[in-house]
Amino acid sequence: MDYDALAGIAKAIAIGFGAIGPGIGVGLIGAKSVEAIGRNPEASGKVMSTMILAIAFAEAIAIYALVIAFGI
């Protein structure tokens, strides 16, 4: 195999593994925030803003993996 083929495989693995964690994290964040809003609907504004911030942090990790994948 030549370098370009190995680099393509490395990019696919990097972005694949880099997207698994944030995907699971965003799912858990969404599930727990819906559960929290269901238990206490009055706190939906505070829960929603915290959820959006946590999702942004989780997605930043996926973006880091994408940048690394393109850097190879």
Q: Which residue has the higher pLDDT, 35 or 66?
A: 35
Burial class (CB in 10 A: 0-12, 13-18, 19+), 69: buried
Tell me which residue has tokens 């599930």.
Answer: 31
Give the separation between CA 24 and CA 9, rounded to whole angstroms.
23
- In the CATH scheme, what is the code of domain 3-71? 1.20.20.10
pLDDT in tens, 10-58: 888 888 888 898 999 999 999 999 999 999 999 999 999 999 999 999 8
Question: Contact, 5 vs 56, CB < 8 A?
Answer: no
Q: Is the pLDDT of residue 72 over 70?
A: no
pLDDT at 18: 86
- Domain positions in the chain are 3-71
